């Protein structure tokens, strides 16, 4: 195995922006705000914040410390940490599952990001102006029905990801997030101001923040728990890979708190951005791609300068998707570089091509292959397309298992002295260590059971 020169972030700012960029994705833009509004508003937000403290902070710190301790890709870092603690190297499989999960997610995430690229162009060219409700629905349907158009945008998005990752940690990833993340924040603030200007800000604020504990049932708590886990890019190798580039002088705990605070603020601002815009013409919000690609294009089409602000919105979505996507490609790239002795350009290129090919099958799942169900012989999966299967297996099974594995490994198998030496939490170490060992694993199991439908009402 060829030894690689280990790159590092230029400082904590680069690390924070990269990890925050990984965490801030499409789920922050539409999923969290809707879940909060539909499940008790401020009550849900409060429960979500408690879940972040119980599951997000402990596991993110654990992933970062393993990455930095091992100074390598997630697979090698887990193996090195296991060897140092005198436990079985089989724990490296947890790192391997995270790398694989992130890579598979990238393949279909790129297709969805391609939709955002398409709508960015529509906003720029004025195609959203005067768009009616039926026209907005037909426009999105036309995009899904077009394999050529979807593959074109998927190809462009994947090419951008490859070019960024191929340039390296500082020259590529840190450079990209260094200008995309500040611009993302600026776009959010502009669109929040736009929502306040059109006059429905109070209604949107009330929908998102008014506490209504009567709507907060057991399933709402499980939803908050799942969102706290999935929104932080845990279990997919990205945080561990980024942690391996973090200087030993940097505080893991402080950087984790900054990342999680940033992610939460963006999610809340996204609600203040979207809901006033939707409520301004008397519509009800809905979750999922329908909100992004049908409801909002129609809303922008009915507003003064709506096409321009639609362009800004979808540009924001593209930036959020891109900062997440590069974090999905990086762990696999780092692994292939170390395992096969390839250059960064070669490793990123090979993986980008494979992800691109897989993404084509996902794109075709909405049109030419919509009737193809790979595991149709299994009753529970009989109606699942290729896209559905990738999404379901990675999000519902692989990610929670990866997060659970990291919590158990750091909490129960790594030497406590090595863990304490790496995280340096001072008087807070005992509390963090207790939560990681006894609370976080139980909560991740609940996330897993809810994700696969066992605990759903």
Q: Is residue 2 part of a domain?
A: no
Residue 383 is predicted with a pLDDT of 85
Name the region of 71 (left: φ>0; alpha: ψ -120 to 50; beta: rest). Answer: left
Residue 4 is predicted with a pLDDT of 44
Residues of the chain under the 70 pLDDT cut: 1-5, 287, 457
Give me the torsion for CA of 119, 125, 131, 133, rounded to 10°: -10
Q: Is residue 6 part of a domain?
A: no
pLDDT 10s digits, 104-139: 999 999 999 999 999 999 999 999 988 888 999 999
Residue 5 is predicted with a pLDDT of 55
For the domain that residue 426 is a member of, what is the CATH number?
1.20.1730
Range of the domain at 212: 12-451
Residue 30 is predicted with a pLDDT of 79
Sign of CA dihedral 326, 318, 267, 141: negative
Residue 419 is predicted with a pLDDT of 97
Distance of CA 51 to the CA centre of its chain: 17
Between the two ends of the chain, the Cα-to-Cα distance in Å is 50
pLDDT 10s digits, 362-374: 999 999 999 998 8
Q: What is the C-alpha separation between 51 and 46, in angstroms, rounded?
A: 9
Residue 281 is predicted with a pLDDT of 82
Domain tally, the chain: 1
Identify the burial level of 190 via C-beta atoms within 10 angstroms of its C-beta, where 0-12 means exposed, 13-18 middle and 19 or more buried. Answer: middle
Q: Which among 443, 452, 448 is positioned nearest to 59, based on CA atoms?
A: 443
Q: What is the C-alpha separation between 142 and 66, in angstroms, rounded?
A: 46
Tokens of 312: 């800004």
Q: Is residue 457 part of a domain?
A: no
Residue 242 is predicted with a pLDDT of 97
Q: Which among 362, 322, 413 is positioned nearest to 78, based on CA atoms?
A: 413
Q: What is the C-alpha separation between 166 and 276, in angstroms, rounded?
A: 40
Residue 457 is predicted with a pLDDT of 62
Write b or e for each residue in 287-318: b if 16 or more Cβ atoms lie within 10 A of its Cβ, otherwise e: eeeebbbbbbbbbbbbbeebbbbbbbbbbbbb
Identify the burial level of 42 via C-beta atoms within 10 angstroms of its C-beta, where 0-12 means exposed, 13-18 middle and 19 or more buried. Answer: middle
Q: Which among 219, 220, 244, 299 is positioned nearest to 76, based on CA atoms?
A: 244
Q: Is residue 371 part of a domain?
A: yes
Residue 1 is predicted with a pLDDT of 31
Q: Is residue 4 part of a domain?
A: no
Q: Is residue 144 part of a domain?
A: yes
Tokens 């593959």 sit at which residue? 151
Q: What is the C-alpha separation between 278 and 271, in angstroms, rounded?
A: 10
pTM above 0.75, yes or no: yes
């Amino acid at each position: 195995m060829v030894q690689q020169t280990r790159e590092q972030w230029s400082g904590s700012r680069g690390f924070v922006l990269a990890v925050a960029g990984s965490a801030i994705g499409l789920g922050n833009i539409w999923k969290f705000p809707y879940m909060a509004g539909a499940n008790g508003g401020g009550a849900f937000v409060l429960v979500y914040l408690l879940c972040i403290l119980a599951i997000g902070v402990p596991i993110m710190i654990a992933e970062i410390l393993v990455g930095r301790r091992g100074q390598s890709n997630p697979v090698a870092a887990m193996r090195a940490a296991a060897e140092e603690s005198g436990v079985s190297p089989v724990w490296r499989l947890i790192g391997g599952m995270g790398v694989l999960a992130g890579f598979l997610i990238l393949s279909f995430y790129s297709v969805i990001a391609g939709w955002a690229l398409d709508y960015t162009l529509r906003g720029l060219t004025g195609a959203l102006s005067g768009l009616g409700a039926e026209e907005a629905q037909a426009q999105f349907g036309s995009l899904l029905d077009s394999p050529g158009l979807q593959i074109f945008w998927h190809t462009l998005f994947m090419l951008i990801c490859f070019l960024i990752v191929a340039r390296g940690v500082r020259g590529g990833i840190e450079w990209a997030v260094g200008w995309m993340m500040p611009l993302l924040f600026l776009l959010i603030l502009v669109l929040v101001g736009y929502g306040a200007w059109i006059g429905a800000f109070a209604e949107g604020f009330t929908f998102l923040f008014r506490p209504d504990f009567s709507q907060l049932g057991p399933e709402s708590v499980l939803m908050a728990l799942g969102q706290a886990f999935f929104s932080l890019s845990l279990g997919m190798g990205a945080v561990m890979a980024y942690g391996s580039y973090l200087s030993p002088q940097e505080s893991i705990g402080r950087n984790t708190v900054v990342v999680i605070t940033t992610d939460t603020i963006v999610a809340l601002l996204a609600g203040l951005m979207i809901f006033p815009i939707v409520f301004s013409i008397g519509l009800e919000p809905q979750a999922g791609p329908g909100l992004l690609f049908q409801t909002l294009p129609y809303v922008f089409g009915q507003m003064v300068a709506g096409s321009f602000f639609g362009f800004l919105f979808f540009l924001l979505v593209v930036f959020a998707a891109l900062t997440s996507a590069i974090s999905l490609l990086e762990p696999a790239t780092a692994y292939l570089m170390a395992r096969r002795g390839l250059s960064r350009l070669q490793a990123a290129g090979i993986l980008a091509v494979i992800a691109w090919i897989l993404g084509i099958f996902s794109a075709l799942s909405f049109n030419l292959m919509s009737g193809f169900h790979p595991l149709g012989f299994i009753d529970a999966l009989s109606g699942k397309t290729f896209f559905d299967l990738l999404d379901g297996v990675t999000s519902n099974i692989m990610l929670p298992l990866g997060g659970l594995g990291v919590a158990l490994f750091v909490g129960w198998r790594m030497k406590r002295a090595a863990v304490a030496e790496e995280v340096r939490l001072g008087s807070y170490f005992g509390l963090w260590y207790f939560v990681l060992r006894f609370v976080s694993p139980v909560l991740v199991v609940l996330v897993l059971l809810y994700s696969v439908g066992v605990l759903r009402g």
